[in-house]
Structure 1
Amino acid sequence: MEEKPIEEELSHPVLLSERVRKAAGEAAFFKSDCAEVEKQADRLSQMLRTAVRYATSNASIYERPVRRISAEVSKNLERALTLVRKCRRRSIFHRVVNIVSAADFRKIFALLDATIGDMRWLLSVFDCNDGGMGSGGGIFISLPPIASNDPILSWVWSFIASVQVGQLPDRVEAANELASLARDNDRNKKIIVEEGGVPPLMKLLKENLSPDSQMAAATALWNLVNDRERVKVIVDHLGVPLIVNVLNTAPMRVQIRMANLVARMAEYDLLAKEEFARENVIRPLVSLLSFETFDEDDQKFQLGKQSIDSIVQINKDLERNERKDSNHQRRKLYPSLSFYSELSSRGGRQRKERENESQDVKRALKVSCAEALLMLARDSVYNSRRIAETKGLLCLAKLIEKEQGELQRNCLVAVMEIAATAESDADFRRAAFKTNSPAAKAVVDQLLRLIKVSEDPSLQIPAIKAVGSLARTFPARELRVIGPLVSQLSNKDQAVATEAAIALQKFANPGNFLCNEHCKSIIEFNGIPPLMKLLRGSDRTQSNALSLLCYLAIHASNNEDLVLARVLTTLEGADHTSAAQKPESRS
Structure 2
Amino acid sequence: MEEERRLGDELSLAVVTAERLRQAADEAESFKLECGEVGKQVDRLAQMLRTLVRLVTGSVHIYDRPIHRVIVEVQKNLERALALVRKCKGHSIIRRVCSITNAADFRKVINLLESSNGDVKWLLSVFDSNGDDSFGGGINISLPPIATNDPILPWVWSLIASTQMGRFPDKIEAANQLGSLARDNDRNKKIIVDEGGIPSLLRLLKESSSVEAQIAAATTLRFLASDQDKMNKEIDRDPSQKSYNYKSYMSSNSSVYSDTGGGRAGHYHRKERESENPEVKHQLKVSCAEALWKLARGNVANSRRITETKGLLSLAKSVEKEVGELQYNCLMTLTEITAAAESSADLRRAAFKTNSPAAKAVVDQMLWLLIQVDSPFLLVPAIRSIGSLARTFPARETRIIKPLVMKLGCPNQEVAMEAVVSLQKFASHENFLCAEHSKAIIEFGAIPSVMKLIRNSDQQVQLQCLILLCYFALNASNHEQLEQAKVLSALEGADRVVISQNPDFKELATKAIYQLSLYNVGLHSQILSYVGP
Question: TM-score range with shorter-chain normalisation?
Answer: 0.7 to 0.9
Matched residue, 1:555: 516
**Offset at residue 474 of structure 1 (A):** 4.8
RMSD: 2.8
**Percentage of matched positions with identical amino acids:** 36
* TM-fit CA distance, 1:224: 2.0
* Residues 68, 291 of structure 1: alpha-carbon distance in 2 compared, 3 angstrom cutoff: same
Q: Which moved more, 1:66-75 or 1:179-188?
A: 179-188
In structure 1, the residue matched to 2:296 is: 266
The reply on whether 1:536 has 2:496 as its aligned counterpart is yes
Mapped partners of 1:43, 1:406: distance in 2? 64
Return the match for 2:326 from 350, 365, 369.
365
Whole-Å separation in 1 of the counterparts to 2:510 and 2:357: 37
- In the alignment, the residues of structure 2 paired with residue 196 and residue 28 of structure 1 have an alpha-carbon distance, to the nearest angstrom, of 47
Question: How far apart, in 2, do the equivalents of 1:137 and 1:389 lie?
Answer: 49
Aligned position for 1:410: 381
- 1:202 is matched with which residue? 202
Alignment of 1:185-334 (within 5 A): 185-226=185-226, 227-236=228-237, 237-238=241-242, 239-245=246-252, 246=254, 247-249=256-258, 251-291=281-321
Note the 1:333-412 alignment, pairs <5 A: 362-380=323-341, 381-382=348-349, 383-385=351-353, 386=356, 389-400=359-370, 401-412=372-383
SS of corresponding position for 2:14: helix
Counterpart in the other structure of 2:273: none
1:454–1:268 Cα change, 3 Å: same
Verify the 8 A CA contact 2:141 2:155 in the aligned structure 1.
yes
Answer with 162-171 or 528-537: which moved more: 528-537
1:445-524 residue pairs with structure 2 within 5 A?
A: 445-456=402-413, 458-471=414-427, 472=434, 473-475=437-439, 478-509=443-474, 512=475, 515-518=476-479, 520-524=480-484
Superposition deviation, residue 283 in structure 1: 0.8
CA drift at 1:198: 1.4
- Answer whether contact 2:251 2:257 (CA < 8 A) is retained: yes
Which range moved further: 228-237 or 461-470?
Answer: 228-237
Shift of 1:185: 3.4
Q: Do 2:126 and 2:136's aligned partners in 1 also have CA atoms closer than 8 Å? A: no
Specify the SS of the correspondent of 1:7.
helix
Alignment-mate amino acid for residue 434 of structure 1 = R
**What TM-score results when the alignment is normalised by the length of structure 2?**
0.81
Alignment of 1:432-443 (within 5 A): 434-435=396-397, 440-441=398-399, 443=400
Using the alignment, how far apart are the partners of 2:481 and 2:503 within structure 1? 22
Q: Normalization by structure 1: what TM-score?
A: 0.74
Deviations 1:509-539 (A, max 9, x none): 2xx3xx1234x42231233454344232232
Q: Are residue 22 (structure 1) and residue 23 (structure 2) matched?
A: yes
Q: Which residue of 2 aligns with 1:444?
A: 401
Name the structure 2 match of 1:583: none
Q: Deviations for 1:279-311, whole angstroms, at most 9, x for unmatched residues?
A: 23101001111116xxxxxxxxxxxxxxxxxxx
5+ residue gaps, structure 1, are: 293-361, 423-427, 564-587
Shift of 1:271: 1.8
- Does residue 81 (structure 1) correspond to residue 82 (structure 2)? The answer is yes
Structure 2 letter corresponding to 1:375: E
- Contact 2:17-2:78 within 8 A present in 1 as well: yes
Out of 197-206 and 464-473, give the one that drifted further: 464-473
Opposite residue 169 of structure 2, the aligned amino acid is: P
| Shift, 1:6, TM fit | 2.8
Greater Cα offset, 390-399 or 197-206: 390-399
Is the CA contact (8 Å cut-off) linking 1:24 and 1:34 kept in structure 2? Answer: yes
- Aligned equivalents of 2:98, 2:502: Cα separation in 1: 82
The whole-number CA distance in structure 1 between the counterparts of 2:55 and 2:136 is 18
**Counterpart residue identity of residue 398, structure 1:** W
Does structure 2 retain, via aligned residues, the 8 Å contact 1:13–1:73? yes
Deviations 1:312-371, CA, capped at 9 Å, x for gaps:
xxxxxxxxxxxxxxxxxxxxxxxxxxxxxxxxxxxxxxxxxxxxxxxxxx3111101110
The 10-residue stretch of structure 1 (247-256 or 375-384) with the greater mean CA deviation from structure 2: 247-256
Aligned partners of 1:151, 1:110: CA distance in 2, in Å?
20
Structure 1 residue 57 displacement after superposition: 5.3
Post-superposition offset of 1:549: 5.8
Instruction: Tell me how far 1:48 sits from its aligned partner.
Output: 0.6
Cα deviation digits, residues 96-146 of structure 1 (max 9, x gap)? 11121110111011101111110111111112x65769x994311111111
Instruction: Specify whether residues 388 and 277 from structure 1 end up closer, same or farther in structure 2 by C-alpha distance, changes over 3 A only.
Output: closer
In structure 2, the partner of 1:319 is none
Residues 204 and 214 in structure 2, CA contact (< 8 A), matched pair in contact too: yes
C-alpha distance after superposition, 1:73-108 (max 9, x if no partner): 111111111111111121101111112111011101
- By how many angstroms is 1:20 displaced? 1.3
CA distance in structure 2 between the aligned counterparts of 1:546 and 1:282, rounded to whole angstroms: 39
Amino acid at match of 2:108: K
* Shift in alpha-carbon separation, 1:213–1:160, aligned structure 2, 3 A: same
Distance 2:35 2:233 in 1: 51
Contact 1:469 1:503 in 2 (8 A): no
Shift of 1:235: 4.5
Q: Assess if the C-alpha contact under 8 Å between 1:160 and 1:174 holds in 2.
A: yes
TM-aligned CA distance change 1:202 to 1:93, over 3 Å: same
Q: 1:421-432 maps to which residues of 2 (within 5 A)?
A: 422=391, 428-430=392-394
Structure 1 residues 12 and 549: CA distance shift in structure 2, 3 A: closer
- Is 1:162 aligned to 2:162, yes or no? yes
Change (3 A) 1:545 1:12: closer
**1:242 is aligned with what amino acid?**
Y
Measure the CA separation in 1 of the matches of 2:455 and 2:357.
Answer: 35
Gap regions ≥5 residues in structure 2: 259-265, 267-280, 342-347, 428-433, 525-533
* Counterpart code for 1:417: S
In the aligned structure 2, how far is the partner of 1:481 from the partner of 1:384?
27
Cα pair 1:469 1:506 within 8 Å, conserved: no
Contact kept in structure 1, 2:312 and 2:359, CA below 8 Å: no
CA 1:33–1:527: 2 relative to 1, 3 Å: same
* Number of residue pairs aligned between Structure 1 and Structure 2: 472
The equivalent of 1:64 in structure 2 is 65
Greater CA drift, 12-21 or 255-264: 255-264
Aligned AA for 1:460? A
Alignment check: 8 A CA contact 2:8 2:53 kept: yes
**Kept in 1: contact 2:199–2:234 (CA 8 A):** no
Per the alignment, do residues 529 and 552 of structure 1 end up closer, same or farther by CA in structure 2, a change over 3 Å counting? closer
**Residue 158 (structure 1) shift:** 0.6
- Give the CA deviation at 1:403: 4.1
CA distance in structure 2 between the aligned counterparts of 1:535 and 1:23, rounded to whole angstroms: 88
Alpha-carbon shift at residue 270 of structure 1 (Å): 1.9
Q: Which one-letter code corresponds to 1:525 in the other structure?
A: A
**Which secondary structure does the structure 2 equivalent of 1:169 belong to?**
helix
